Amino acid sequence: MESRSDGQAGRSRPGRRWRVALAVAAVSALAAVLVATTVSTGSVESASSTAGRDAGAHAAVISPTSAPVPSTTTTTPPPPVCDRRPALDAGTESVPAELQARVDAALAHPAWSGLDRSISVWVEGYGEVVAVEPDRALLPASNQKLFTALGAHLLLDPQGRFRTEVRQTDDRLVLVAGGDPTLRSAGPHSLSALAAQVRAAGVATAAAMVVDASHFEASTTARGWQDWQVPIYVGPMSALVVDDNRTRTDAAYLADPALGNATAFAARLGTAGVGVEPVVVHGEAQPTDPVVAALESPTFGELTRTMLVRSDNEVAESLLREIGAGSTDEGLARIAAALEPWCLHLAGAGGDGSGLSRANLRSAREWRRLLQVAAVQPWGPTFVGQLPVAGVSGTLSGRLRGPATHGSVRAKTGSIIGGSALSGYATTSDGRTAVFSVVVNGEPGVAQGSVTAIDRLVAAVVGL
């Protein structure tokens, strides 16, 4: 899978600093284009549906010389069709021959050979300039995190946080897990820090230790995950995540990481000077039990950026479960429902929040349209600004570093065994906004080698 740590930004080339600002500022231009061609506040009627409705209205008029026709039934006209797709694909200008030639050359690169492709590229003014099997649903790899990010912006308070508490009830301590994917064993945001708070609150002993992990569902995996992926690419999921849940590989821990992490917390309590039985059991805290210690995660907005920049799998899965009131499948369903007013008629499927699931399937055209509409939401500039920058940050720090693309592309990478993807925004050499998605599946070695071809295509679109 993809790197999970931020790449260090290289020294910017002289005269290129303006490109990062231009890539974000271009969202305003995209907004102007889309608002001019679509209705931004509600359902959008297609011309054909409106014409049909008008025709029906004329047909209902009765001539003064006509005899009335008795009727015992009432006909209700069908609701207007809500479809934003044609306007999102359309252009108003001819595609320049130079751009078409660059794109054709990039698509003919031998690195595409033997691969399943779904490609859709839209350029402001020109419309969809590249469409290679654009409606073919393929594994999106970590581009699935874009779906999770859209859900976070639509359904979570950007200032909200995951909260981990220790509550005291009678002679017991209850570790209440709140889904925080950023907890560590040691350090300022850790089990050790939480244990120190308990001792500082005056607690010296406890007869029993309980862990309440009911904030999330008990399942440690998502639909479509393969056994070997855990814990190599993602830790077993739980409401209590410590060190990404990747430090232990024994069967007991993989089956119940919350119990294993709570047992580790009991040991940290002992080190902090709190005497407690080392045996931990599952249970639930009561709302009236006093809180003796608590830690809060970074905000959901900050975590969304971390997920996109670093391609963090644990953060993605925790955000999705938070959206779904603890359930992965409910999170996916809620995001899909929240996207319905965008009038995109989405056909893709999802299995998780990170992109590891083989149940994730979506076409490049759907990804591109989602990105177009996302950019014109009130939170659109924030969302665009959370994506990695070509040659500068995160999983794009080492890619697209040429003069045409360095700093002018913001996109989400995707890498899975047998698949690669790149979807995002770019500013062309003549200042136009481009929105693109490229999803590639195939034999593992061949699919991984497609990164060069993908980057060539993006560079061809940006041009010089």
Listed residue (257, 277, 275, 290) closest to 177, CA to CA: 257
The tens digit of pLDDT for each residue in 170-186 reads 899 999 999 999 999 99
Contacts by residues 57-65 (CB-CB < 8 Å, ≥ 24 positions apart)? none
Which sequence spans correspond to the domains of the chain? 17-37+93-156+302-462, 161-298
The tens digit of pLDDT for each residue in 371-391 reads 999 999 999 999 999 999 999
In this predicted structure, which of 131-145, 234-248, 434-448 has the lowest mean pLDDT? 434-448
Contact between 195 and 261 under an 8 Å Cβ cutoff? The reply is no
Q: What are phi and psi of 438, to 5 degrees?
A: -130, 120
> Phi-psi bin for 37: left (phi > 0), alpha (psi -120 to 50), beta?
alpha
Per-residue pLDDT, averaged over 107-118, amounts to 95
Q: Check whether 210 has a pLDDT greater than 80.
A: yes
pLDDT confidence of 11, banded at 50, 70, 90? very low
Check if 17-37+93-156+302-462 and 161-298 are the same fold: no
Q: Check whether 43 has a pLDDT greater than 70.
A: no
The DSSP letter of residue 320 is H
The tens digit of pLDDT for each residue in 344-357 reads 999 999 999 999 99
Q: Check whether 9 has a pLDDT greater than 80.
A: no
Per-residue pLDDT, averaged over 264-281, amounts to 96
Q: Check whether 22 has a pLDDT greater than 60.
A: no
In angstroms, rounded to a whole number, what is the distance separating the alpha carbons of residues 464 and 142? 29
Contact between 122 and 88 under an 8 Å Cβ cutoff? The reply is yes
In angstroms, rounded to a whole number, what is the distance separating the alpha carbons of residues 11 and 210? 50
Which residues, including other chains, have CB under 8 Å from residue 459's CB and lie 6 or more apart?
Answer: 106, 400, 402, 404, 405
Contact between 442 and 115 under an 8 Å Cβ cutoff? The reply is yes
SS3 assignment, position 169: strand
In angstroms, rounded to a whole number, what is the distance separating the alpha carbons of residues 426 and 149? 19
In angstroms, rounded to a whole number, what is the distance separating the alpha carbons of residues 349 and 360? 5
The tens digit of pLDDT for each residue in 309-360 reads 999 999 999 999 999 999 999 999 999 999 999 999 999 999 999 999 999 9
Q: How many helices (H) and strands (E) does the chain have?
A: 15, 12
In angstroms, how far is the first alpha carbon of the chain from the final one?
32
In angstroms, rounded to a whole number, what is the distance separating the alpha carbons of residues 198 and 294? 9
Q: Which alpha helices (DSSP H) does 311-375 contain, by range? A: 313-323, 328-339, 364-375
The tens digit of pLDDT for each residue in 398-416 reads 999 999 999 999 999 999 9
Burial of 125 (C-beta count, 10 Å sphere; 0-12/13-18/19+):
middle
Q: What is the CATH number of domain 17-37+93-156+302-462?
A: 3.40.710.10
Identity at 276, one-letter amino acid code? V
Contact between 185 and 178 under an 8 Å Cβ cutoff? The reply is no
For residue 3, what pLDDT is reported?
A: 40
For residue 79, what pLDDT is reported?
A: 67
Say whether pTM exceeds 0.75.
Answer: yes
Q: What is the CATH number of domain 161-298?
A: 3.50.80.20
In angstroms, rounded to a whole number, what is the distance separating the alpha carbons of residues 241 and 237? 7
For residue 448, what pLDDT is reported?
A: 82
The per-residue pLDDT of the chain, averaged, comes to 88
In angstroms, rounded to a whole number, what is the distance separating the alpha carbons of residues 137 and 62? 50
Contact between 154 and 322 under an 8 Å Cβ cutoff? The reply is no
Per-residue pLDDT, averaged over 32-44, amounts to 41
The tens digit of pLDDT for each residue in 61-82 reads 223 334 444 545 567 777 667 9
**Strand partners of residue 165:** 176, 294
Per-residue pLDDT, averaged over 47-57, amounts to 34
pLDDT confidence of 445, banded at 50, 70, 90? confident
Go through the chain and tell me how many residues it has: 464
Listed residue (307, 159, 180) closest to 242, CA to CA: 180
Residue 104: how many other CB atoms lie within 10 Å: 11
**Strand partners of residue 424:** 411, 436
Burial of 110 (C-beta count, 10 Å sphere; 0-12/13-18/19+):
exposed
Q: How far is CA 263 from CA 138, 161, 196, 241, 253, in A?
A: 41, 24, 16, 13, 11
Q: Edge-to-edge strands of the sheet including 116-123?
A: 127-132, 116-123, 433-441, 419-427, 409-416
Per-residue pLDDT, averaged over 234-239, amounts to 98
The tens digit of pLDDT for each residue in 211-222 reads 999 999 999 999
